[in-house]
Homo-oligomer: A and B are copies of this chain.
Amino acid sequence: MALKHATPMLDELEKGPWPSFVSDVKRLAAKGNLMCEDWLGLMELSFKEKEGHWKHGGIVGVFGYGGGVIGRYCDRPDLFPNVAHFHTMRVNQPASKYYNSDVLRKICDLWDAKGSGLTNMHGSTGDIVLLGTTTDQLEPIFYELTHDLKMDLGGSGSNLRSPEGCLGMSRCEWACINTQDIIYDLTQEFQDALHRPMFPYKFKFKSSGCPMDCVAAIARADCSIIGTWRDDIRIDQEAVKGYVGGEIVPHGGAGGPRKDFDIKAEVIDLCPTKCMAFDGKTLKIENSDCVRCMHCIRVMPRALRPGVDTGATILLGAKAPILEGAQLSSVVIPFIKMESPYTEFKEFVEKLWDYWMENGKNRERLGELIQRQGLRELLKAVELEPDPRMVNTPRYNPYIFYDPEKVPGGWEHDATEYRKRHQA
């Protein structure tokens, strides 16, 4: 069936071995999906003109929620009336995105009926992104979502955003914390913040089960919860021998099925703190020098495992560049036990948000507030003591704001006495 709009440029993207979104959307359009047809036409126009054709959102949403829907209108409704309105709905994913075909088919049914049939699996934050519907469909979709799918919308705007974690204990031997439960629990606990704007700006939680950080929490989450341990790396010396003897493939096969493993070059010498030694028989780790970088563990997963006294490092403030430049998260709690119901952590979060809500300017991310006011103010607000683990290096400028409380007489001088000692 010929589609409504010719798409000679897009068609170029049907070539090549990688899955083609163009072929995919055309397939759906060919089934009579009018939104897909016009969306293809609009994309073709953008490709031709090298400019996008979507306008700002405007406030659309479902009743009682201040987030979860991104309004979107096309700037050429004259040419593409079926995508004149093309709002996105963010559906909060189950933590780390396990599905069965049953629930996914239900989503498809819903979206074929009431939306464009286009999705992102998944959005960068983690949501199931349903791309393109009209304002009048929002409430019906929401109803079906909550009633039939038992699902809810995700975050947008100055809300808590849908938290996400790595798959953690569900399939990974390195998970030091139950990322999935943490994410689920926080999401449930803070439903109100997720649906109703109460913050100066957006706020994101992400949790990775270990320092590999497979959900990129340290780069993308205002609050990054990263699993770690504080006892010793567990060593299976027999398995070490297996690796050294070429019986076990190194690096879990990530470098292919090779047999030339060199424990010195690949492990001992690459340990960032050089705290390992191998005498040909026994592998030794000076654990007090280990920074838990996971390198040795990932190279010899059958021989080495994280310790058993596990918990998380909490880091704050990651964000994209706007306004004050991109930030990675910074350590504020070197170690915290993370066990359900996460009471200590939640108390920390409440203090953190209070501080941010009280001091943050409009559209000021937590990381920017910390930048502006200094880590000291944050630590005071959340009642944490300074720790060298919070910095790569202590300050190197002498611009110290000494606390007047520690100075005899505080900020005051006795001017008269001074001038008795010193003639002007």
Contacts and interface: CB of A to CB of B under 8 A. Distances in A.
A78 interface: yes
A412 B83 CA distance: 31
Interface in A31-75: 49, 51, 53, 55, 75
Nearest to A76: B423
A321 B399 contact: yes
A351 B261 CA distance: 57
Please state the number of chain copies in the assembly.
Answer: 2
Contacts of A397: 321, 325-326
Contact of A78 (B75, B321, B423): B423
A326 B423 contact: no
Nearest to A397: B325
A75 B326 contact: no
A421 interface: yes
Contacts of A77: 423
A422 B51 contact: yes
A399 B397 CA distance: 26
A369 to B, nearest CB: 19
Contact of A49 (B75, B76, B399, B421): B421
A321 B423 contact: no
Contacts of A399: 321, 325
A105 B324 CA distance: 61
A397 to B, nearest CB: 5
Contacts of A49: 421
Contacts of A55: 422
A18 interface: no
B75 A422 contact: yes
B421 A321 contact: no
A416 to B, nearest CB: 15
A398 interface: yes
Q: Give the interface centre of A51, A399, A422 by most chain B CB atoms within 10 Å.
A: A422
A417 to B, nearest CB: 11
Interface in A69-121: 75-78
A411 interface: no
A317 to B, nearest CB: 16
Contacts of A76: 422-423
A401 interface: no
Nearest to A320: B398
Contacts of A402: none
Given A326-B396, A397-B326, A75 B423 contact: yes
A104 B78 CA distance: 93
A80 B242 CA distance: 84
Contact of A51 (B53, B326, B421): B421
A325 B76 CA distance: 53
Contacts of A51: 421-422
Nearest to A423: B75
A393 to B, nearest CB: 14
Contacts of A78: 423
A421 B397 CA distance: 53
A399 B325 CA distance: 8
A356 B191 CA distance: 57
A52 to B, nearest CB: 9
Given A49-B421, A321-B398, 17 more contacts: A51-B421, A51-B422, A53-B422, A55-B422, A75-B422, A75-B423, A75-B424, A76-B422, A76-B423, A77-B423, A78-B423, A321-B397, A321-B399, A325-B397, A325-B399, A326-B396, A326-B397
19 contacts: A49-B421, A51-B421, A51-B422, A53-B422, A55-B422, A75-B422, A75-B423, A75-B424, A76-B422, A76-B423, A77-B423, A78-B423, A321-B397, A321-B398, A321-B399, A325-B397, A325-B399, A326-B396, A326-B397
5 closest A-B pairs by CB? A75-B422, A75-B423, A325-B397, A321-B398, A321-B397
